[in-house]
């Protein structure tokens, strides 16, 4: 294999604070079936959503250093909290193509809204950063963006309570103020939230468009790879390890959760000591 071919066949590095980024990885698998993926879930240090900007940036730098040891050709920050805290720093520090989940999600909302009232639900770190609001209002000053942190959603998803009255009850409390404001578009600004999309949709009603940034992120990644001439031209041969998973805590626990999200069967996940990077 020559150097050019090696680069084309190199994997995409995708990272998240834990399992949530698998909703983004799943979308990349769907839309870019020829691409290999190396996924890192920081399961030992999750959640990022309640941590400071500095801590999340430090964690993200370590993960990028680890992913580089896997010879990735591009990086996807598949975590809203890490995108909000670390995107600009990582863009300055590394020369690899890099995609976050916030800007693609914000772009979808910008084109989806009819009445210019957009809601964002996310972790505290993402909401407090004001990143969605800033990005959308920079592109259209007449639009208004209202953010709401929903910290209980992540543990509800991780407990598997995707279709449960408890989730509906909590969603009702969190979302009532967004309903009162009359938003017509709601960004699911945390990687876990697409997994409780049905509960959120039930509360918001059919008229409110729910935006899952994962879809647009995969599209943006496709365009970026094409622009840089980095796309993998053919599907790797059967038996080649298309997807590899690494975590910073128990691989067994991750594997179980991941297998309920990813339809491809996760053969193995490996634990690494991320503090070494």
**Contact residues for ligand DGL (CB under 6 A)?**
16-17, 20, 46-49, 79-81, 123, 126, 154, 190-192
Provide, rounded to whole angstroms, the least separation between the CB of residue 27 and ligand DGL. Answer: 14
Task: Specify which residues 243 forms β-bridges with.
Answer: 37
Of the pair 121, 242, the CB lying nearest ligand DGL is at: 121
Provide, rounded to whole angstroms, the least separation between the CB of residue 173 and ligand DGL. Answer: 19
| Set 190, 196, 218, 251: catalytic member | 190
Distance CA 245, CA 251 (A): 9
Provide, rounded to whole angstroms, the least separation between the CB of residue 60 and ligand DGL. Answer: 11
Chain-centre distance for alpha carbon 194: 10
Contact 217, 27 (CB under 8 A): yes
Of the pair 79, 251, the CB lying nearest ligand DGL is at: 79
| Set 32, 79, 122, 211: catalytic member | 79
Single out the residue of 29, 36, 98 nearest to residue 63, CA to CA. Answer: 98
Of the pair 72, 156, the CB lying nearest ligand DGL is at: 156
Catalytic residue flag (residue 150): no
Provide, rounded to whole angstroms, the least separation between the CB of residue 249 and ligand DGL. Answer: 13
Q: For the residues of 214-263, what is the DSSP string, one character each? A: HHHHHHHHHHHHHHHT----SPPPTTS--EEEEESS-HHHHHHHHHHH-T
Of the pair 10, 247, the CB lying nearest ligand DGL is at: 247
C-alpha distance from residue 220 to each of 140, 226, 258 (Å): 21, 10, 24
End-to-end CA distance of the chain: 29
Provide, rounded to whole angstroms, the least separation between the CB of residue 49 and ligand DGL. Answer: 3
**How many alpha carbons lie under 13 Å from residue 124 in its C-beta half-sphere?**
9
Residue nearest to ligand DGL (CB): 49
- Convert 139-160 to b/e letters by CB count within 10 Å (16 or more is b): eeeebbbbbbbbeebbebbbee
Catalytic residue flag (residue 190): yes
Of the pair 29, 78, the CB lying nearest ligand DGL is at: 78
Q: Which residues are catalytic?
A: 79, 190
């Amino acid at each position: 294999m020559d150097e050019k071919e090696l680069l084309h066949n190199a994997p995409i590095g995708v990272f998240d604070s834990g399992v949530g980024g698998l909703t983004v990885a799943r979308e990349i698998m769907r839309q870019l079936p020829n691409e290999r993926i190396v996924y890192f879930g920081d399961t030992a240090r999750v959640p990022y959503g309640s941590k400071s900007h500095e801590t999340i940036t430090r964690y993200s730098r370590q993960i990028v250093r680890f992913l580089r040891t896997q010879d990735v050709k591009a990086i996807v920050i598949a975590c809203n909290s890490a995108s909000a805290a670390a995107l600009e720093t990582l863009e300055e520090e590394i020369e690899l193509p890099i995609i976050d989940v916030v800007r693609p999600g914000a772009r979808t909302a910008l084109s989806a809204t009819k009445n210019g009232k957009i809601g964002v639900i996310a972790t505290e770190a993402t909401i407090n950063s004001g990143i969605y609001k800033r990005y959308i209002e920079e592109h259209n000053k007449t639009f208004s963006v209202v953010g709401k942190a929903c910290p209980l959603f992540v543990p509800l998803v991780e407990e598997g309570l995707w279709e449960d009255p408890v989730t509906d009850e909590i969603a009702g409390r969190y979302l009532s103020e967004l309903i009162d404001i009359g938003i017509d578009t709601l960004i699911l600004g945390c990687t876990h939230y697409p997994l409780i999309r049905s509960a959120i949709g039930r509360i918001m009603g059919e008229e409110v468009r729910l935006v899952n940034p994962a879809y647009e992120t995969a599209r943006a990644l496709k365009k970026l790879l094409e622009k840089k001439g980095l796309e993998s031209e053919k599907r790797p041969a059967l038996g080649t390890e298309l997807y590899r998973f690494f975590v910073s805590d128990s691989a067994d626990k991750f594997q179980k959760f991941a297998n309920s999200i990813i339809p491809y069967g996760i053969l193995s996940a490996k634990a690494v000591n991320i503090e070494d990077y």
